[in-house]
Structure formats: structure tokens, C-alpha cells
Structure 1
């Protein structure tokens, strides 16, 4: 056929395509260390396809063990080390499992693993066994709504993880209307929920803390682990060996995290910042919508604008100097009060009417992403916090147009954590 030219289509090489698939699978495992065929079939298929390379990569790069079976894949992580923020078990956008909730989760898993428990169980039977085990273990669940919510939160978490499947009925229907539900148990996954197998001769919980945890001695591996699990690696928290690797071999560190996990890394005098532009790997959403996230972002901006810190500014912490902006609590409270006056119409009433709670949750959020550290005297902002610049958008436009403003109204933000 004359008169037409064939279009030139650039087809990626097989090697590039496979590398992209491995990176996608690795990111899926980092974001969700337990993948099951029930909920993440596509990601699990990628892990199966590249399991040999992925197993070797995770061992070499991070010291993590990858367990791959026909119906699931489990990335067994190891402790990050000192200095990293503690991650709570998130059960919803606004709720986390408290200590008693974690105990309920363990009791539920124990009941599902007990001899005689089959592949399916009624939710009423499971809860009855769970409550009986709680009494035997001295765990006070309570018969009130708080106790019921903890039990349901633990079961819904197991459903989300793929350990339980709601075959007939749901946990929510049982909680709301006391309707029976039939649950299917993925028993093959249960033993792999724990990062370490419990010893068969264990008699007291205290014995667990006496067991030696493998220590990563290779500084390149421990540094990469820090950056993957916590986006901000503070220089003062790095070991001497990790600091040497960061500044001597920064090119290798940047390349390895980008090639294997799709993460960008910036190395500065104060430490290193790993960022994921699409936010898929973030377990803590910041910046983001909602009163606490908006208030935290605006507080950073207000404190920095008021102090106008100079490059290299430091604050004393524990007898040493660390890169930080020292903000006394009176200044923090004053800034938050001004923000409430200015943006309170767009924020949740519960926070607007409770300044202490607002400050507590804002500070907790900033600490969880390592942008701040609370001391009895002050809030210490890390220099990386200066990367964030809020740009009020939806709220301002709604007010100018005379339209009502709700909790969903947000801000456009610049930020890479």
C-alpha cells in the first residue's frame, strides 16, 4: 500500500521491561508485606514471575527475607534500628490499634491456629473462643462498645490482610446487626504473620526479649533500610560507618534505591531524604487532606516564616547540637491559634474546639515523618521541613465565591516526603 509510512513505535527491551516489573513487584511488597491471591492477584503474579531475583535483591539490599508460596508472598522485614519512628497498625484512615487491640489480634490468630479449627468458622464461634482465651490470658476485653470495636477491628484487619475471607456475611454486619457470618480461614498464611517463629518451649512472654535479634553489621545495607522505611535519615542518627557510606558512595545509594524501588534520594549536609513522587509507598499521608495534615503543613510554614532560620542553624538536644529550628511551645500554640482563627471554618469542629488535642496530633504527625522532634521545652523542626510550602486553593476559592467550606476542602502542597 503506497502513500502511508509505517509509524515508528519504540518498544522497550525485554531487559528494561523485566526490570520495571521487578521494581513494581518490589514496591508492592514494601507497601504491603503480605500479598495474597485473594486481594492482590496481579502483584502476586509479578512476585511469582520474578521471585528468584526479588529474593536475592531483598536479601542483598535490605537484609529482608522473602517467602513466596503459591497463594501468598510475605516480605519479612527486620528492625530499622534506633531513631526511627514507631509505626502503629492502621485499621482505618483515622484509627490505629492500641495495645489492647494488638492483644486481641494475637488472640484471634491463636484461636484460628488452634487444633480443631477448620478452613471455615462462624464469627460467633471465633469471638467466643477469643473471649475465652482472653480470660485465660488475663486480658480484659470488656463487654462494652469499646471492647466490641477492638474485636471487630482485629477481625477486619485479618480480612484486609487476606487471612480471613468473608464468605457469607461480614464482620460489619455482625457488629451492627448481630447477623451471623461465615469466615474462610487462610491457614497457610497465619504462621507467617510473625517476623520470627515462636520457640516451641516458650513459657513466658519475657523470654521473647531475651532472644537475640540479628544485627545488620553492613553499613550500606542498614543505610538503605533506613531510607526505604523512613524517608528522612538524620545525619546525627547515623552511625559513623553509615555516614561515611552516605557521603562517600552517595551515587551508588541513589542509583540502587531508584533502580530497585523507584525512589529518589537527595543527600544534604543534614542527612538524606528519600521520596516517592506518586506517594504509593507512604504509610503516613503527608501532606494531605484533613484538619491535622493541613494544620501541620501550615504550622511548618508559619514557624519558618516567623523565625527565618539561617542555613546551618542548630539546636541543643541531649547535650549535643543538631540541625533544627528551636520553637518554644508558646510560639507553637500562638501559631496554631492564629491558624484556627484563619482556617477554622474549614476544619473539624472537634479540633477547633480543643487546641490541646490539635497540637498533640499535629506534633505526632510531624514526628511520625521525622520532620519534628518534641522536647519539654520546644518543638524542633528539621531543615527538611522547609521543603513544604502550602498553597491554599480550594478553601480560598470557595470563600471568595461565597460557597460553604467543609472538611474535604484542601490545599495544594509542594513536598516530596
Structure 2
């Protein structure tokens, strides 16, 4: 009986940790069950996140916030905020996001505020700091997208009416503000920052440890490239792989796989991955088929390298004219499925497909062309079988349909 109770507690702690990795800001309104679990195991979770990853966990009766330490820019695929349509936030949308946060912190703003009053305060704040705003539909879309993001985070709640209704028809909406959460949106207090770059830089008070930084890279990235590891991290990966495997499994339910060109920690349940690939939609389909065509044309051999950021790395350089030509041919071939607009101008589809591959660390755009990482060969579609639904953290199956001459997965 005692053993089963201990096992149950361990499983609960792992589930709570996974919930925080998946959603670093959890509220009682958005996920009450997960928050209850986190609060129950708060002490153990705070300790394990701090020790294993160098993360700070804030637990409040109404929310939990996992504050992550930044990764080096070269080893951190961009994870921007996104609109409901899937498009990335622009600088203008982030401006509105910051202005709304400032407006709800204004002394005259109560726990409940009308959307129109909130916007009035926002415009006044913008004028004070010299930001020009207008009433155009484009500006309105940026404003609504920022409000929706704060609603998704649980900072703002639609009490009566909706932000969408206000944005489309100027119908009034009553919003409830959970002000106690606002200071925890940023990784560091504004008063402690010398400039915006400090938000994504390592704290000067923290001495980085190779074991912890390696765990963080494995947990956060869909693929950790060998060349992006420090000498100390590579040593840990080689000498302490058993301990590393056990830690990732015990704390987060992740399975470690190490290969010659890199490593990944994948989730067998596919709950932690934020990017599904392959997946539905013309952009992901175009990205998958682009990889297949490039590998078919080049037929790369083992040991193939390309220059990336001034260094030679495992990979295949595909010139831009070739990439754009292949995407154009794919647009014509799949016009009925993807739509005719890409036939005359496939540049947007090409850009978006490359963005998907880049976000998964499977490719890098350079001045001369697109550099495919050997791991991209793992996603070559099997023309005889439907492609499996894999995600960013899913295992690189040794028996998957691949080009083994490109991705030679020998052990480190």
C-alpha cells in the first residue's frame, strides 16, 4: 500500500510538471485541476525545477507561473505569440500588449473595466510616451489580438460581452482584470532591467552549470544539434547519459534519444510538443514535400556538411533558386488542394514552409540557400503509407522511412 501511495505521488508530481512545461502560466479559470495538483506539490516542484532546469516556480492561490531561464539565441528556436489565425505577433501587436498591461495597472483602473474605458486609458498612455495610434481596422486588429492573448493567459476575463464583439461592432464589453498576475508575465521585474535585451539574457547572478543547461536545451528544443552544445555539455551527454535519461523520465516523462548529429527528448504521449509535424494544412504539407524533393534531387551522402554562421555543420545546402522552383512546382501539382493563389506567386507558401522547418531546427536559411539538417531526412514521406502523426519531440524512429546516407545515426 505504501509503495502504491508513493508511486501515485510521483506520478502526480510528474503530471503537474508536464502541465507547467506545456503551459507556463496556469490559472484557476483556465485549468483548475492542474492548478490544484501544482499547489499540492508546490514545494517539490519548486525544488525540482530549480535544481534540474534553473527555473523559478511561483505558486499563488489563483495561478501558477513557471519562469524560465533563457537559452542561448543560437540554441533557441523562436516561439512568438500568435494570433487566432496562427500568424505571429508583429512589433505593433506587442506594442499594444505592453500598452494594455500599463493601462490595467493605472491607479484609476479597477478590477472591472469597460473595454472602451480601457482603450481610452491605453490611448492616453500612448500619447504620453509619443506612440501614434489611430482608429484604422489594422490597428483595431492588433489591439484585439493583444487583448485575446491576455484573456488566454487569464490576466483578463470577459465578464459581460466579448472582445471580439467590441472589436467588430463596438459593442461594449465588461472585463475583469486579475491584476496580481501582471508582475509575473515578464521573466524579470522591469525595475531590474537595463534594457529590453536583458529580458532574454542570462541573469548575471546565476552561474551556469553544463548539466542544467543541457537539460534545459533538451526539454525546450525539438532537436538539440551537436554543434550547438558546449564542450562541457557534450561531455555530460557522453559520460552521464544514463543519469540524464533517468532524470528527464522521472521529472517530466520525456525519453532521451542520442544520435551522432544531436539529441532530443521526446514525449511518447505527444502532449508537450507545441508544433505538430508532419501535420494538417498546406504549409506543413509543403514543408514536408519540399524536404522530400530536395533530398531526392541531391541524394546526399553520409558526412555531408554545409557552412552555417561561419562554421561547417552537418547538413545540405540547397540554393534558393532551387528551393523556390520546387515550391512553385509543388503549388502547381497541388493546386486543387492548396488553392490557385500560390501558382502565380508561391513566395508566401515558400516563406511559411521554411519558417516551419526552421522552428523545428530542421533547416536554417542562409544568404546562399536553405541548409537542411540531417534530421530532416527522418520526415521523408512514405509514398506507400500515410505519414505518421509525429510531433516536434517525437522519437526519431530507427526503422522510419529515411535517407540513411544523409542521417547516419550512429551513437555518440
Give the TM-score, by structure 1 length: 0.88
Is 1:213 the counterpart of 2:231 in the alignment?
no
Distance 1:349 1:252, change over 3 A: farther
Aligned to 1:122: 114
Greater relative CO, 1 or 2 (CA 8 Å, sep 6+): 2
List per-residue Cα deviations over 1:51-75 (Å, max 9, x = no partner).
Answer: 1111111001100000001010000
Count of residue pairs brought into register by the alignment: 390
Aligned to 1:164: 156
Distance 1:209 1:366, change over 3 A: closer
Aligned to 2:97: 105
1:388 to 359, 379, 383: 379
List per-residue Cα deviations over 1:296-342 (Å, max 9, x = no partner).
Answer: 01111121122222222211234432100121122222322332232
Aligned to 1:95: 87
Residue 123 of structure 1: CA displacement?
0.5
Distance 1:93 1:144, change over 3 A: closer
Distance 1:142 1:324, change over 3 A: same
Distance 2:272 2:258 in 1: 20
Gaps of 5+ in 2: 393-412
2:280 to 281, 289, 297: 289
Distance 1:386 1:117 in 2: 54
Aligned to 2:405: none
Distance 2:326 2:286 in 1: 10
Q: Could you say what the CA RMSD is over the residues aligned between the two structures, in angstroms?
A: 2.4
Distance 1:46 1:375, change over 3 A: same
Bigger CA radius of gyration = 1
Contact conserved, 1:391 with 1:413, CA < 8 A, in 2?
no
Residue 36 of structure 1: CA displacement?
0.4
Residue 82 of structure 1: CA displacement?
2.9
- DSSP 3-state at the match of 2:58: strand
Residue 283 of structure 1: CA displacement?
2.3
Is 1:413 the counterpart of 2:396 in the alignment?
no
Distance 2:80 2:128 in 1: 26
Residue 25 of structure 1: CA displacement?
1.0
Aligned to 1:54: 45
Residue 207 of structure 1: CA displacement?
9.2
Is 1:303 the counterpart of 2:294 in the alignment?
yes
Contact conserved, 2:248 with 2:255, CA < 8 A, in 1?
yes
1:320 to 287, 304, 311: 311
Instruction: Decide which moves more: 174-183 or 11-20.
Output: 11-20
Aligned to 2:247: 256
Residue 12 of structure 1: CA displacement?
8.4
Residue 14 of structure 1: CA displacement?
1.8
Contact conserved, 1:27 with 1:281, CA < 8 A, in 2?
yes
Residue 216 of structure 1: CA displacement?
4.7
Aligned to 1:133: 125
Aligned to 1:401: none
Is 1:334 the counterpart of 2:336 in the alignment?
no
- DSSP 3-state at the match of 1:89: coil
Residue 139 of structure 1: CA displacement?
2.0
- The within-5 A match list for 1:173-192 is 173-192=165-184
Residue 15 of structure 1: CA displacement?
2.0
Contact conserved, 1:388 with 1:413, CA < 8 A, in 2?
no
Gaps of 5+ in 1: 1-9, 397-410
